[in-house]
């Protein structure tokens, strides 16, 4: 067990039914690094967080904090949890109370009171753009504002490990940039170990150091993000077609070029491959389907491509 790991999870299993839950999941959280934990709804992301926190009773596996294995069901685990900050998918605020009063209530659970609380709350609310509305009831906040308030609550006590379940949900583009910048500051400057789940792969790509991809409760791909990109191939060749009717063309082209990555967005159809010969085949196949070539270019691998290709490979396993 590495001493550089703040939190290490080994062989975590929590099953609700034979096909629902998580099975044999292992990962480690390190100071100053962001681990992105990705998967479709129902893949087991929130189950993993709740099991590590001790909110669900795990079937098997171990959780170790700073090298010491913990009993997540014991009262003593509360002392370990003091080092965690958590933003779950449901914020759980008292809607009739003001934002500041909500923070004060939760801060008292960490014995953060009086002048110490006021200074910390002011710092976070200003940083997250909520200071001017701190006296408003939380029920008047938009979803995005509640997400930012949930982050403030999670880090009031200056935790060492931060669990974030869909933190970008409900944020407008400007708020996403603010949130991303602050999460980078928390990990890179303040040294927090961050466990992040999100469906926004573009945001994840800009934040994550390490990526785990989950499908039906099992990890199907994991590793350093840059290493995964390199393993996939530094560059891809891309052709974009103007497709009409788009759905029919997408199905036909995907069938003709099963080795390539075919993506439909709006009325544009994109084919990607590491092999120029496949792109030549794509042009021929597209012409046969009556598609007009709109663009040809090279591009680096993206997290989105790695994510969907790993799911596709997993589906096609015998």
Give residue 3's pLDDT.
Answer: 47
Burial 78-113 (b: 16+ CB within 10 A, else e): eebbebbbbbbeebebeeeebbbbbbbebbeeeebe
User: What is the Cα–Cα distance from 114 to 151, expressed in whole angstroms?
Assistant: 21
* Backbone angles phi and psi of 273, in degrees to 5: -160, 155
Give residue 318's pLDDT.
Answer: 58
Fold of domain 1-83+159-226: Rossmann fold (3.40.50)
**pTM (predicted TM-score):** 0.80
pLDDT: which is higher, 129 or 266: 129
Model pLDDT for residues 184-239, shown as the tens digit of each residue: 999 999 999 999 999 999 899 999 999 999 999 999 999 999 899 888 765 667 77
Q: Per-residue confidence at 298, pLDDT binned at 50, 70, 90?
A: confident
3-state secondary structure (DSSP) of residue 131: helix
Across residues 287-303, what is the average pLDDT?
77
Q: Per-residue confidence at 1, pLDDT binned at 50, 70, 90?
A: very low
Q: Per-residue confidence at 58, pLDDT binned at 50, 70, 90?
A: very high
Model pLDDT for residues 128-163, shown as the tens digit of each residue: 999 999 999 999 999 889 999 999 999 999 999 999
**The CATH number of 234-300 is which of 3.30.300.20, 2.20.25.90, 3.30.70.2470, 3.30.70.360?**
3.30.70.2470
Across residues 29-41, what is the average pLDDT?
95
The DSSP H or E segment spanning 105 is helix 99-108
Give residue 151's pLDDT.
Answer: 95
Beta strands in 18-112 (DSSP E): 20-29, 34-38, 60-65, 68-70, 84-87
Site of tokens 């591009």: 299
């Amino acid at each position: 067990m590495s001493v550089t790991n703040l939190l290490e999870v080994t062989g975590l299993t929590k099953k609700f039914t034979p096909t629902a839950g998580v099975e044999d999941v292992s990962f480690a959280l390190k100071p100053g690094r962001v681990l992105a934990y990705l998967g479709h709804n129902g893949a087991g992301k929130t189950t993993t967080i709740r099991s590590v926190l001790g909110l669900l009773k795990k079937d098997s596996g171990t959780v170790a904090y700073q090298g010491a294995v913990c009993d997540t069901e014991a009262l003593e685990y509360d002392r370990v949890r003091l080092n965690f900050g958590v933003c779950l998918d449901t914020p759980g605020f008292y809607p009739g109370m003001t934002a500041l009063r909500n923070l004060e209530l939760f801060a008292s659970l960490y014995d953060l009171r009086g002048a110490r609380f006021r200074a910390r709350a002011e710092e976070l609310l200003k940083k997250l753009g909520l200071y001017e509305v701190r006296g408003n009831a939380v029920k008047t906040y938009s979803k995005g504002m509640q997400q930012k308030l949930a982050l403030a609550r999670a880090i009031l006590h200056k935790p060492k490990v931060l669990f974030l379940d869909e933190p970008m949900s409900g944020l407008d583009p400007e708020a996403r940039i603010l949130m991303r910048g602050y999460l980078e500051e928390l990990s890179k400057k303040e040294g927090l170990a961050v466990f992040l789940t999100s469906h926004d792969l573009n945001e994840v790509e800009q934040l994550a150091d390490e990526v785990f991809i989950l499908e039906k409760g099992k990890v199907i791909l994991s590793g350093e993000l840059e290493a995964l990109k390199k393993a996939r191939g530094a560059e891809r060749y891309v052709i974009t077609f103007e497709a009409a009717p788009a759905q029919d063309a997408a199905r036909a082209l995907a069938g003709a070029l099963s080795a390539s990555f075919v993506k439909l967005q709006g009325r544009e159809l994109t084919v990607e491959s590491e092999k120029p010969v496949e792109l030549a085949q794509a042009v021929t196949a597209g012409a046969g389907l009556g598609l007009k070539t709109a663009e040809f270019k090279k591009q680096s691998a993206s997290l989105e491509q790695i994510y969907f290709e790993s799911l596709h490979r997993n589906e096609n396993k015998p």
